[in-house]
Amino acid sequence: MLENTDLGKLLVRLAVGGLLLFHGISKLFNGIGFIETLLASHNLPTQLAWAVYIGEIIAPLMVILGYQTRIGALLIFLNMVVAIVLAHTHELLALSSNGGLALELQLFFLINAAAVFFMGPGRYKLKN
C-alpha cells in the first residue's frame, strides 16, 4: 500500500493556505471597509481590520511554503475565530439553502488550520 504522509500534509497545507489566500487577495483589491464596520459595531478599533492581511495573505503563504508553518496555521486559526465571532455567530447552527452548514467554509479553514498546526509541515517545505 502506498503511504506518503508528507505528501498528505503538503496537500492539506496547499488546500487551506491556497484557498484562504484568494480571500486575502480579494481584500487587497476590494478593501477592508466591511471589516472596519464590523469592528466598529463591536466597539473595537477599526485599525484592527488591517490584521486580516496577516491572517489571509501572510499566514497562508507561510503555510503553503512550509515556512514557520505552525505559526502561520495558528494565525489562520485565530483569524477564523475572529471572523466567526464578528460576522457569523448568528449562523453557528444554521443550515445553508443547499442543506449544508452555513459555516462550512469558515469551519474548513478553522479545523484544517488546527490540523496543520498539530501535524507540522512535513518534509516538503522551505528550510527554516
Over residues 59-113, the pLDDT tens digits come to 999 999 999 999 999 999 999 999 999 999 989 889 998 889 999 999 999 999 9
- CA–CA separation, 70 vs 116, rounded Å? 7
Q: How many degrees, rounded to 5, is the angle at CA 114 between CA 36 and CA 15?
A: 80
Residue keyed to cell 477564523? 80
Residue-wise pLDDT for 7-34, tens only, equals 999 999 999 999 999 999 999 999 999 9
127 has a pLDDT exceeding 80: no
With contact defined as beta carbons under 8 Å apart, do 7 and 124 qualify?
A: yes
pTM of the complete model: 0.94
